[in-house]
Amino acid sequence: SEMVEAEDVESELSLAARGEAVYQAVCMACHQPNGQGLPGAFPPLASSDWVMGDPRRLALLVLHGLQGPIEVNGQAWNGVMPGQGATLDDEQIASVLSYVRSAWGNGAPEVGPEVVSELRERFTGSPPWTAQSLDEALAE
């Protein structure tokens, strides 16, 4: 039997499976291992209307960050999420989006790296988003 190269194994893992490691390294401290967030501090990703909704909105907030008041599942939040676009590449962002959209009972489709690449290019240098500026950008 041939030895399988490590890269071959990784390329056969789904985007979501690769995204779990990114989540654990970058997102878990705030959003927690179970995706429930921390009450009053960090909103949940499990069963979140933001996570299950438009994947472009999710990709942009991971790329550039998010600040100011938002509503998640009818609950008000007002915090700051730092952008991760400088430290994560398009593939890593796509994989972690795919992970959170399929973990903890979420059932949304994977997000391809090309979606992230297109948004990174289109909105290069964007300041952190607000709920309103995100909606406006996606309506263009």
**Cα 120 from Cα 86, distance rounded (Å):** 10
**pLDDT at res. 1:** 47
Q: How confident is the model at residue 3 (pLDDT cuts 50, 70, 90)?
A: low
**Cα 13 from Cα 67, distance rounded (Å):** 33
**pLDDT at res. 13:** 79
Give all strands (DSSP E) within the chain, no chain letters: 65-72, 75-82
Average pLDDT (121-135) is: 96
Q: What is the pLDDT of residues 89-109, one digit of tens each?
A: 999 999 999 999 999 999 999
Mean pLDDT, rounded, of the chain: 92
∠ CA 98-99-101, nearest 5°, is 65
Contact 110, 93 (CB under 8 A): no
72 Cβ neighbours under 8 A, 6+ residues apart: 43, 44, 48, 49, 50
24 Cβ neighbours under 8 A, 6+ residues apart: 33
Rounded to the nearest 10 degrees, how much is the dihedral formed by the CA atoms of 20, 23, 25, 31? -140
Asked whether residue 7 carries a pLDDT value surpassing 90, the answer given is: no
Average pLDDT (112-128) is: 97
pTM of the model: 0.89
For strands 75-82 and 65-72, give the pairing.
Answer: antiparallel
Q: How many CB atoms lie within 10 A of CB 20?
A: 19
